[in-house]
A and B are shown apart, each in its own frame.
Chain A
Amino acid sequence: MNFEKVKAIIPSITKGSTEDSVIINLGPSHPATHGTIQIIAELEGETIKRTDIHCGYLHRGFEKEAEAHTWHGVIPYTDRLNYCSGLINNFAYADTVETLIGLQITPRCLYLRTLLSEYSRLADHLTCVAAILMELGAMTAFLYLITIRDYIYEHLNHLTGARLTYSYVRIGGVANDLPEGWLIRLEEILQFYENYVEKVHKLVDRNRIFIDRTRNTGVLSTTDALHWGFTGPILRSTGAKHDLRKDNPYLAYADLDFEVPTGIKGDNYDRYYVRMREMDESVHMIRQCAKKLPSGPINLEGHKYMLPPKELVYKEIESLINHFKIIMEGPIVPSGDCYRAHEGANGELGFYIVSDGSGVPYKIHVRAPSFIHVGGAHIMLQGGQLADVVPTFGSLNMIGGECDR
């Protein structure tokens, strides 16, 4: 494509550029882009002068679709936001609706949700670190990490009936209690994790190639990170100790003992290391939750919000009516609005919901960390080499489902 044509299609990138610079296009379908995203970069030699990032290739109208479903009907859609850690989305959404209604979930459910949130975070970070390593050519470490992730997915499949799109949460509880032997297998997997992650640390941490590719590439300062709205592991890698689990504790995090790992200078190596350390903290928290998991009911009583058990729906008229009302009209949420944020695997995952007092949401908005991160990604890419796009974008962990909604 010649320069004049590029100018006509993408005026923003060509504004101020000269005939000497080369404009190249990466994506939206490129093996190294780690998701459907388009990066238009202006190069001088191999140095990136400017980038223009386009997302939205996976836009499926989540927010519009949510307005056509009942409060319960939205749950399967939330799975598909960050599909590497669907349970965190589930719980954040349910927590927002419960806060607006004023429901207090049972202590067992609280601890179970905390445990599963951390378990999902573990799976998400494993995916992210594995992808960075694979894109840099470290196939062995990738296979080690993906093996554990697969154990986790199979294990969650045992609990929820799905490997990725769990739809496990219900407003006022969860779909079902833990199956027998689930916690025993959990401990087995955590030991597998420790075993394999030790190997990954040995393979990668002091590896010359890995350090050369990641140290001092994609550097981000704390000021820039806050200015561009970064949260989660990326903000923490710059040295800022901000974690919603500590700062505004939700679920059972106030009762747990854990550390907030931070980086030194916010480059790709720090982002890798912060994620590795966070996984260790997650494992520590999972063990605490499993130990403290209270006995008692998992769901709230009454069927104003919760679906009645299926056997009863077939046997008694009251349950049949409850079931019908909740499915057809949706649980009645009082009018008002509410914003709740959970610490997602990528950063602050917020839901802003508006109800007009009916069983169908008036509006649901997701504060998706990936979308905001993509909006600030050019800061990390500018001034770097073209080859640095790969590790930088890997450590950004942009998840298309969440970014494009």
Chain B
Amino acid sequence: MDFELFKAIKKELINEVTESRLTHGILELKMSAENFFGVVSKLKTSFDFNLLLDLTAIDYLKQKEERFDVIYHLYSTLHLVRVRLKISLSEENAKITTLTTLYGSANFMERECHEMYGIDFVGNDDLRPILLYNGFEGYPLRKDYPIEKEQPLVPYIK
């Protein structure tokens, strides 16, 4: 594990990152939604995190003050390490800057996260449903979406 690199990242991002820890070999960084895009740009340009692996969210419903955590996993094919980014978002302001300008792979993942959790990715103009369909009501991976809920029939377009 590249501890020197992790130290350098923490030093470089000291102003943006509110909390950091090393967990199961992954450096976890917490930050606010405003600082998020700057942090990812720095990680990509200065520390060669060239692969956006994964994007998802966690819904804490009433367990936490801010309802959602958006989770990003980045990988560096040069240093062979992963970084996890955690951004807390409130339900009223569930918005975060899109990463499609930095990583193409973000597009599909943001579409999925948008339809599953209702998080808005500002700047991504293609947030159509991807795993679900037009006319699906609600956000299925939110904790207040009952698992047995039925969906209305969508009209067939000829």
Q: Spell out A's residues near B (CB within 8 Å).
A: 9, 12, 54-56, 59, 61, 63-65, 67-68, 99-100, 226-229, 231, 240, 242, 247-248, 336-341, 348, 350, 352, 354, 362-363, 365, 367, 371-372, 374-376, 379, 404-405
The interface stretch among B5-13, B32-40, B76-84, B88-96 is: B76-84
A338 touches B23 (CB 8 A): yes
B128, B131, B141, B145 interface centre (most CB from chain A within 10 Å): B131
Contacts A99-B24, A226-B50: A405 and B77 contacting too (C-beta < 8 A)? no
A55 touches B54 (CB 8 A): no
Distance between Cα atoms of A367 and B56 in the complex (Å): 9
A241 to chain B: closest residue by CB: B77
Number of A-B contacts (CB under 8 A): 96
Q: Spell out B's residues near A (CB within 8 Å).
A: 23-26, 50-54, 56, 58-59, 71, 73, 75, 77, 80, 82, 84, 103-105, 107-109, 112, 116, 126, 128-133, 140-141, 145, 147, 157
B53 touches A63 (CB 8 A): no
B53 to chain A: closest residue by CB: A367
Please tell me which one of the listed residues B75, B109, B129, B133 contacts residue A375 in the complex, with CB atoms under 8 A apart. Answer: B109
Contacts A9-B157, A54-B130, A372-B109: A229 and B147 contacting too (C-beta < 8 A)? no
A56 touches B77 (CB 8 A): no
* Chain A residues with CB below 8 A from B54, complex form: 339, 350, 352, 365, 367
Q: Least Cβ distance of B128 to chain A in Å?
A: 7
B51 touches A231 (CB 8 A): yes
A371 touches B84 (CB 8 A): no
| Sample of 25 A–B contacts (CB below 8 Å) | A54-B130, A56-B129, A56-B130, A67-B147, A68-B147, A100-B24, A227-B104, A229-B53, A231-B51, A247-B77, A337-B23, A338-B23, A339-B73, A340-B24, A348-B53, A348-B75, A352-B73, A363-B58, A363-B59, A365-B71, A367-B54, A371-B108, A372-B105, A375-B105, A404-B131
Distance between Cα atoms of A63 and B129 in the complex (Å): 17
Q: Least Cβ distance of B75 to chain A in Å?
A: 8
* Chain B residues with CB below 8 A from A348, complex form: 53, 75
A228 touches B53 (CB 8 A): no
B25, B77, B80 interface centre (most CB from chain A within 10 Å): B77
B141 touches A350 (CB 8 A): no
Please tell me which one of the listed residues A61, A63, A339, A376 contacts residue B105 in the complex, with CB atoms under 8 A apart. Answer: A376
* Chain A residues with CB below 8 A from B58, complex form: 354, 362-363
B128 to chain A: closest residue by CB: A12
Contacts A240-B77, A404-B131: A12 and B52 contacting too (C-beta < 8 A)? no
Starting from the known contacts A229-B52, A242-B77, A248-B80, 17 additional A-B residue pairs (CB-CB under 8 Å) come to A56-B129, A56-B133, A59-B131, A59-B132, A64-B140, A67-B147, A227-B105, A228-B104, A229-B51, A231-B51, A350-B53, A352-B56, A363-B56, A365-B56, A365-B71, A372-B105, A372-B109
B112 to chain A: closest residue by CB: A371
Q: Least Cβ distance of A373 to chain B in Å?
A: 9
Q: Least Cβ distance of B62 to chain A in Å?
A: 13
Distance between Cα atoms of A63 and B115 in the complex (Å): 13
Q: Least Cβ distance of A9 to chain B in Å?
A: 6
A339 touches B26 (CB 8 A): yes
* Chain B residues with CB below 8 A from A350, complex form: 53-54, 73
Contacts A339-B84, A340-B24: A55 and B131 contacting too (C-beta < 8 A)? yes
Distance between Cα atoms of A340 and B84 in the complex (Å): 12
A367 to chain B: closest residue by CB: B54
* Chain B residues with CB below 8 A from A67, complex form: 147
Distance between Cα atoms of A64 and B107 in the complex (Å): 22
Distance between Cα atoms of A375 and B82 in the complex (Å): 21
Q: Least Cβ distance of B19 to chain A in Å?
A: 14
B53 touches A64 (CB 8 A): no
* Chain B residues with CB below 8 A from A65, complex form: 147
Contacts A350-B53, A352-B54: A56 and B108 contacting too (C-beta < 8 A)? no
Contacts A12-B126, A339-B26, A404-B131: A61 and B140 contacting too (C-beta < 8 A)? yes
Please tell me which one of the listed residues B24, B103, B128, B130 contacts residue A227 in the complex, with CB atoms under 8 A apart. Answer: B103
B113 to chain A: closest residue by CB: A365
* Chain A residues with CB below 8 A from B24, complex form: 99-100, 338-340
Distance between Cα atoms of A234 and B28 in the complex (Å): 28
B86 to chain A: closest residue by CB: A337
Q: Least Cβ distance of A235 to chain B in Å?
A: 9
* Chain A residues with CB below 8 A from B140, complex form: 61, 64
Please tell me which one of the listed residues B26, B59, B73, B105 contacts residue A228 in the complex, with CB atoms under 8 A apart. Answer: B105
